[in-house]
A and B are shown apart, each in its own frame.
Chain A
Amino acid sequence: MNVPAKPAANALRRRFLKDVAGAAGGACLLALGATVYARQARALPPLAIRPPGALAEEAFLGACIRCGLCVRDCPYGSLTLAALGDGVVSGTPYFTARDVPCEMCEDIPCVKACPTGALTHDLHDIRKARMGLAVLIDQENCLNFLGLRCDVCYRVCPVIDKAITLEKRHNPRSDRHALLIPTVHADACTGCGKCEKSCVLPEAAIKVLPTRLAQGASDPHYRRGWDEKAKAGGSLIGEQVQLPVRGLEETTVPGATP
């Protein structure tokens, strides 16, 4: 029997198995850690807004190479490159509107700086940027909702009268005055955050949120009767009998055609 050869071969085999097991174990741990981390990191914190032209978050995280050139070329220092632990994926650019909003440069230098197109170079008109959507989130403390004429968010809006309009409502408290309600329109709001930045309250009543948080969605099969009626040039089901509502004969319903 060749006794001395056996332990040597065994030792080699043992070492090899240990190597493989160690590597596999390490890889599994790393993968597990990365997955857990990935799940957390993928959810962008709601107040972190991506620069103009940023692809949808998943695609953005595949395309952005974390070089920080957009951060460097932002003339207003709006953008920050996230560091590990910031809650935003490390190395990716974002801004916090309440600190420094996007100033909506006409030539969009951050997009031009991006070497990969994670900020899409198809964006030529900054007004077409959709970084997020402003939402007047606190209707209890907003001064305009209280009947005062603050209007600051409306005045600073770079897309004034399109992205934010003042809508006249009745003020039921005094019963004599109007409420001028700042109203955001998603078809024009770029999410630049100037309104949030300038809100005079200690905590902004209007905030820019990622569109996925700010906006609901209508089911595509929904039809609005009045739109269809206007499109068809008349009621689709013929004239309806108008019945009086008891007690309200003298008042007009808001929005109804007289």
Chain B
Amino acid sequence: MSAQHPGRDAVVAKGWLRAHKWLLMRRSMQIGILAMFLVGPWFGWWIVKGNLAASRTLEVLPLTDPFVFLQMLAARHVPEMKAVIGVLIVLGFYLLVGGRVFCSWVCPMNVVTDAASWLRRRLGLKGGHAPHAATRYGVLVAVLMTTALTGVQVWEWVNPVSMLQRGLIFGFGLAWVIVVGVFVYDLMLAGRGWCAHLCPAGATYALLGRWSLWRVAANRRSACNDCMDCFAVCPEPQVIRPALKALGQQHPVILDSHCTNCGRCVDVCSQNVFRLGSRFNRSEQ
């Protein structure tokens, strides 16, 4: 239960595998999605073409990223139907499972910032200062306004989220500099600074997450022994308290749209306080 090694008690109590269940599932999903994009250019097996901005799966299913779509609209471009259908499918999916599921289960940047966060914990780095968590909405508004003013998708020149995945699939160029920049920022300057405070793509997905059916609940919160491990691993620690400590709400379901449904709190809790399930299941044990 030290802040440097959260989850140690859980490993003792539940075994390594069960204490890493959601993490392993998440990493498999992230790698699996990337692999589906990569087997095309690598081996000629075209399952998915394109990248996360827009893709075509098995030559029929179009998918479009809502944040990129939004930027395109801000640039006053009227898109073809294909992009519209793609974005509607994606919107529907994330409205159902939780907007920021993209962040923790799909986005390749998550691996980078998780690594930075892990290293920061391990090295016991405390320095730096993260901007306010609402800054990301400021960035989102600024991005859309700049795009509207210039008529050009300015953010896509620097967007680390699209750049990392595109780099892996189509070739990096100097894009790795930006990715390393985010890693160093998260490691040295601001813990969880990028994903939880600045990223406008994450902010867009957070807006989608308000009504999601799939949520984390602290349904065994009476068993909580205040070890703080969940707070140490959570990318958005502020979302836990209302559910776990009954602050401002009675039920144990985490309804904050910033929760990424990553399930890491479920993993690291030695007392099995958390579970992932329906937002309507407000029962407690």
A211 to B51, CA, bound (A): 30
Neighbouring B residues of A34 by C-beta, 8 Å: 146, 154, 157-158
**For the complex, is A65 an interface residue (Cβ under 8 Å from B)?**
yes
A67 to B71, CA, bound (A): 14
Q: Select the stretch in B28-36, B89-97, B162-170, B261-269 that faces chain A.
A: B162-170
A58 to B56, CA, bound (A): 26
A27 to B158, CA, bound (A): 14
Interface pair B132/A19, CB less than 8 Å apart: yes
* Residue among A31, A61, A67, A89 making CB contact with B53, cutoff 8 Å: A67
Q: Select the stretch in A44-52, A80-88, A138-146 that faces chain B.
A: A80-88
Task: Report A23-63 residues with CB < 8 Å from chain B CB.
Answer: 23, 26-27, 31, 34, 37-38, 41-42, 58-59, 61-63
A66 to B166, CA, bound (A): 8
Interface pair B49/A65, CB less than 8 Å apart: no
Neighbouring B residues of A26 by C-beta, 8 Å: 131
Interface pair B153/A61, CB less than 8 Å apart: yes
**For the complex, is B270 an interface residue (Cβ under 8 Å from A)?**
no
A9 to B13, CA, bound (A): 44
Interface pair B80/A62, CB less than 8 Å apart: no
Q: Select the stretch in B172-180, B202-210, B234-242, B249-257 that faces chain A.
A: B172-180
Q: A83-B172, A83-B174, A90-B163 are in contact. Are A117 and B79 (CB under 8 A)?
A: yes
Interface pair A38/B152, CB less than 8 Å apart: yes
Neighbouring B residues of A58 by C-beta, 8 Å: 151-152
Interface pair B86/A23, CB less than 8 Å apart: no
Q: Select the stretch in B62-70, B114-122, B211-219, B224-232 that faces chain A.
A: B62-70
**For the complex, is B156 an interface residue (Cβ under 8 Å from A)?**
yes
Pick the most buried of A22, A115, A116: most chain B CB atoms within 10 A of its CB.
Answer: A115
Interface pair B152/A66, CB less than 8 Å apart: no
Interface pair B154/A63, CB less than 8 Å apart: no
B66 to chain A, nearest CB (A): 11
B8 to chain A, nearest CB (A): 33
Interface pair B152/A42, CB less than 8 Å apart: yes
* Residue among A27, A31, A116 making CB contact with B54, cutoff 8 Å: A116
Pick the most buried of A27, A67, A81, A121: most chain B CB atoms within 10 A of its CB.
Answer: A67
* Residue among A22, A38, A85 making CB contact with B129, cutoff 8 Å: A22
A258 to chain B, nearest CB (A): 56
A90 to B131, CA, bound (A): 28
Interface bits B69-90 vs A (CB < 8 Å: 1, else 0): 1011001111110110010000
**For the complex, is A147 an interface residue (Cβ under 8 Å from B)?**
no
Interface pair B174/A115, CB less than 8 Å apart: no
Q: Tell me the nearest residue of chain B to A93, going by C-beta.
A: B170
Interface pair A69/B49, CB less than 8 Å apart: yes
Task: Report A63-112 residues with CB < 8 Å from chain B CB.
Answer: 63-69, 71-73, 81-86, 89-91
Interface pair A23/B132, CB less than 8 Å apart: yes
Interface pair A65/B68, CB less than 8 Å apart: yes
**For the complex, is B135 an interface residue (Cβ under 8 Å from A)?**
yes
Interface pair B50/A85, CB less than 8 Å apart: no
Q: A115-B54, A116-B54 are in contact. Are A23 and B135 (CB under 8 A)?
A: yes
Neighbouring A residues of B163 by C-beta, 8 Å: 84, 90-91
Interface pair B152/A67, CB less than 8 Å apart: no
Neighbouring A residues of B132 by C-beta, 8 Å: 19, 23
Interface pair A62/B72, CB less than 8 Å apart: yes
**For the complex, is A114 an interface residue (Cβ under 8 Å from B)?**
yes
Interface pair A62/B77, CB less than 8 Å apart: yes
* Residue among A37, A63, A69, A86 making CB contact with B50, cutoff 8 Å: A69
Interface bits B52-64 vs A (CB < 8 Å: 1, else 0): 0111100000101
Interface pair B72/A68, CB less than 8 Å apart: no
**For the complex, is A179 an interface residue (Cβ under 8 Å from B)?**
no
Neighbouring B residues of A65 by C-beta, 8 Å: 53-54, 64-65, 68-69, 71-72, 83, 153, 156
Q: A62-B77, A121-B80 are in contact. Are A68 and B169 (CB under 8 A)?
A: yes
Nearest first, the 5 closest Cβ-Cβ pairs linking A and B are A83-B173, A62-B75, A67-B54, A85-B174, A63-B77
8 A-B pairs with C-beta separation under 8 A:
A19-B131, A42-B152, A62-B76, A65-B68, A66-B53, A66-B68, A83-B174, A116-B80
